[in-house]
Amino acid sequence: MDSGTLLSGRYRLDRPIDSGAMGAVWAALDERLKREVAVKILLPGLDGAGERFQREAETLASLKGPNYVEVYDFGEELDGDREVKFLVMELVEGTSLARLLAREDHLDPERTMRIVAEAADALGAAHRRQIVHRDVKPANLLIDADDRVRLVDFGISLLVDQSRLTDSKEVLGTIPYVSPERLRNQDVTGKSDLYSLGAVAYECLTGTPPFPGRDAMAVIHSHLYEEPPPLPDSIPPQVASVVSRLLRKAPEERWESGEALAEACRLATTGEIVVPPPPPQPPVEDRPNRRKRLALLTTAVAVVIAVIAVVLWGNWTGDSPFGPSGDAEESTVEAAGDAGGDPATDGATDPAASDSASESPAAEETEEETGGGTEEGGSGETGDDEATRDPNISSDGSEPVPSVTGMDTFSAKDALEAEGFTNVVAEVGYYWYTPEPEHCTVIQQFPSAGEETNYTDQITLSYHERTAEGTSCEW
């Protein structure tokens, strides 16, 4: 389309304003009513997008209020041998939040909370009509000449409980602002929009989204498994708490509605609201240490039981390696400390007593019964496959994870297990590459290659699936 083109005999295109995922937006003149309008034209080559484009027109037309753009018309026009669909809307004088941030880097907390509150009002009204926007980002928030927020571009919106216009496996949206549940292809609700708005708020306050980066896979991993960096100390705690709650991974922990969020934003600027922090959770990187502590505690308990058994046997036969029975309690404490207990106790351990305990026939018998001294590394008649893998590999040890991306899932599992990692799972991911990867190709692994993890901790292989293949990539 060129400047001067007349659509439906009344809308004359003037100049391009912007472009989005589905269409280009033009300033135009409605020659019938003599007013300026905005015309959004569906981009050529978007096969199957016509119905989605019409859905946007219907969605916008159903939403009324100061934070939306009014819809005037929807039509089709022949341009040579192709049919062009267009949407006629109110022309908003102003700029997008994306351009505002590019110009000003970041905004002060009070202005940020006002923008987020108005956007939340618009989202809340849409959610009450069971409409989820699904692409909340700075480019889709317009700041008009009256400094009022307008929510635009409902091109990929979803009417909850109605048929989807996209494949259920298709992840749509803009990666820096997409919620974890959308990335996992879980049910989408209005709280997904609130997470995206939280990412927008974070960017307004800091100048960058919570998880910036050029590598889309790294950003996706951060949305799913990492917490955003803390906001600067200069941000009032009430404001920071509002944004922190928006960015919680679990949808049920976010604000319950757009209206509730809008009220919280307005109260935060007056210092009247403090959001309680989420319940504490152990950080991911601490899990190997917790597993090691558990293993040491288990070992200590086993040693204590062995020592008590030796003492009791000695008292019964008169041949206790610890001498008189009065020394048994002291020796038990020392053995537990030597197995990884209190460091102060370790320093008080009697070497003679420890050596005596390890060399006693009863201790050797206990070791044999638990499989610690057998060549097979097993546990008697149970035939433990995990222990037969390699006698030099400890189940609670940790090593860097090798890279298995690019392999098929089965080869990747074999490679990891050959290195001693025993808890490998696979799950389908949704990736767009040209050319398309082979069926079952591992695209991403968690933990990433080079990260240290325990041999028994879970390693997840995220793979590409060609639906037409019909064969499973999992075991």
Contact yes or no for 320/314 (Cβ under 8 A): yes
Backbone φ and ψ of 127, nearest 5°: -65, -35
**What is the torsional sign of CA 116, 119, 124, 130?**
negative
Q: Which of 441, 440, 443 is nearest to 471 (CA)?
A: 440
Give the C-alpha separation, 121 to 111, whole Å.
15
Contact yes or no for 117/265 (Cβ under 8 A): yes
Contact yes or no for 464/441 (Cβ under 8 A): yes
Q: 3-class DSSP state for residue 441?
A: strand
Query: What DSSP string describes 20-44?
Result: -SSEEEEEEEETTTTEEEEEEEEPT
Q: List the beta bridge partners of residue 11.
A: 7, 30
Q: The tokens 């009032």 sit on which residue? A: 236
Phi-psi region of 406 (alpha: psi -120 to 50; beta: other; left: phi over 0): left
Angle between helix axes 328-338 and 287-317 (nearest 10 degrees) is: 150
Query: What DSSP string describes 241-271?
Result: HHHHHHT-SSGGGS-S-HHHHHHHHHHHTTT
DSSP strand pairing (459-464 vs 71-79):
unpaired
Backbone φ and ψ of 102, nearest 5°: -65, -30
User: Is 338 annotated as catalytic?
Assistant: no
Contact yes or no for 425/404 (Cβ under 8 A): no
Identity of the residue numbered 28: A
Contact yes or no for 125/83 (Cβ under 8 A): no
Give the C-alpha separation, 230 to 315, whole Å.
61
Catalytic residue among 18, 135, 153, 338: 135
Radius of gyration over every alpha carbon of the chain, rounded to an integer in angstroms:
32
The answer to whether the bond into 437 is cis (omega within 30° of 0) is no
Q: Which of 410, 402, 399 is nearest to 455 (CA)?
A: 399
Residues assigned a catalytic role: 135
